[in-house]
């Protein structure tokens, strides 16, 4: 067994809490990795498997909330479950708005933590699958010639072959050839499928953080 199926990271400055959480999560058959501080976590290499982060808010050095910000900035989309010994409402709102999966107050119910972990891993798995699909589409799109991608753009925006020919100053038959080649390269079985693919690509580029 080289790569584990999934992994749970825990960042808490309290060794007792860390070891208890590891014991509990470990008993569910999940792999757990422990860190005493945010810096340690940032310095570690994250394996490319579905994972989530159980994060204490009050930490020495970088706090839990600022670790969340730093990860988002670095484009690392690991789902986060916050745990805190003394949380207030504004703090919770801030964490949840920034995309946290769950916000648990210590001492928490074990089932709550386990449910949150399941949900977080599921979310990460979905995201990873979508990311992979998107990467494939990107590869295919990149293999199009400039003319093919120009034609495809016009097709998706709803123009007829005749209109495209008039606009690009080519014969209608040439447009048809570009179009069928592009569909082939994109592995789209129908026009509807092609439109969906292009929209996904556009959506992902729009959602990409600046």
Partner 1 sequence: MISADSVLSGSFDYGEVARSVLIAIVASYAALDFLGRLTSARGRTRLAWLSGGAIAMGLGIWAMHFKGMLARRLPIPVEYHWPTVLASLLVAILASGVALYIASRQKMAPVEVLTGSVILGGGLLGMHYIGMAAMRLPAITHFSPVLVTCSILLAILFSAITLRLAFRLREETRWSGPRRLASATVIGVAVSAIHYTGLTAASFTPAPPPNLFHAVSISTLGNNGIVIATLTVLAAAIATSSVDRIQSEERLLLVIDTLPALVWSKSPDGSADFLNQRFLEYTGLSVEEGLGWGWMKEFHPEERAEEEWRAAFAAGKPFEREAQLRRADGAYRRFLLRAVPLRDKQGNISKWYGTSTDIEDLKRAEDELRQAQEDLARVTRVVAMGELASAIAHEVNQPLTAIVTNGNFCLRRLDSATWKPDELRAAIEEIVNDGTRASAVISRIRGLLMKASPNRTELDINRIIQDVNILLRNEFTRNRVSLRIELESDLPHVPGDPVQLQQVLINLVMNAIEAASSTTNGRPEILIRSARNRDGVLVQVQDSGPGVEPALVDRIFEPFFTTKPKGIGMGLSISYSIIESHGGQLSLESASHGALFQFTLPANGAVLS
182 binds partner 1 (CB under 8 A): no
Contact window for partner 1 (CB under 8 A) among 21-29, 37-45, 146-154, 184-192: 21-29
58 binds partner 1 (CB under 8 A): yes
33 binds partner 1 (CB under 8 A): no
Contact window for partner 1 (CB under 8 A) among 2-10, 81-89, 134-142, 182-190: 81-89
Q: Is residue 135 exposed (0-12), middle (13-18) or buried (19+ Cβ within 10 Å)? A: exposed
85 binds partner 1 (CB under 8 A): yes
Q: Record the tokens describing residue 42, joined without a space.
A: 């940032």
Q: Record the tokens describing residue 193, joined without a space.
A: 């499928």
Q: Rounded to a whole number, what is the largest CA-CA distance in the chain?
A: 74
106 binds partner 1 (CB under 8 A): yes
Return the number of the residue (21 or 116) whose C-beta is nearest partner 1: 21
Q: Are 77 and 98 in contact (CB under 8 A)?
A: no
First to last CA, the chain: 38
108 binds partner 1 (CB under 8 A): yes
Q: Record the tokens describing residue 150, joined without a space.
A: 């120009």
Instruction: Report H helices in the chain.
Output: 15-26, 38-43, 64-73, 89-97, 110-142, 146-156, 161-168, 172-186, 191-207
The answer to whether the peptide bond before residue 107 is cis (omega within 30 degrees of 0) is: yes
Contact window for partner 1 (CB under 8 A) among 16-24, 71-79, 93-101, 164-172: 16-24
Contact window for partner 1 (CB under 8 A) among 10-18, 33-41, 160-168, 182-190: 10-18
Q: What are phi and psi of 34, to 5 degrees?
A: -110, 145
21 binds partner 1 (CB under 8 A): yes
147 binds partner 1 (CB under 8 A): no
174 binds partner 1 (CB under 8 A): no
20 binds partner 1 (CB under 8 A): yes
94 binds partner 1 (CB under 8 A): no
Sites of contact with partner 1 (CB under 8 A): 14, 16-17, 19-21, 23-24, 27, 58, 83, 85-86, 106-110, 113
């Amino acid at each position: 067994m080289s790569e584990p199926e999934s992994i749970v990271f825990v960042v808490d400055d309290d060794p007792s809490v860390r070891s208890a959480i590891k014991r509990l999560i470990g008993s569910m058959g999940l792999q757990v990795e422990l860190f005493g501080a945010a810096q340690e976590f940032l310095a570690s290499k994250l394996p490319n498997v579905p994972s989530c982060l159980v994060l204490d808010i009050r930490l020495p050095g970088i706090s839990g909330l600022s670790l969340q910000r730093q990860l988002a900035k670095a484009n690392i989309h690991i789902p986060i479950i916050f745990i805190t010994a003394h949380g207030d409402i504004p703090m919770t709102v801030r964490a949840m708005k920034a995309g946290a999966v769950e916000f648990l107050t210590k001492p928490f119910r074990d089932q709550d933590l386990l449910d949150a972990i399941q949900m977080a891993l599921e979310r990460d798995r979905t995201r990873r699958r979508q990311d992979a699909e998107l990467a494939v589409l990107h590869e295919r799109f990149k293999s199009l010639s400039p003319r093919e991608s120009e034609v495809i753009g016009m097709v998706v925006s709803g123009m007829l072959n005749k209109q495209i020919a008039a606009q690009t100053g080519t014969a209608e038959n040439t447009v048809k050839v570009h179009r069928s080649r592009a569909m082939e390269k994109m592995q789209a079985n129908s026009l509807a499928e092609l439109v969906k693919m292009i929209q996904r690509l556009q959506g992902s580029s729009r959602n990409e953080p600046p």
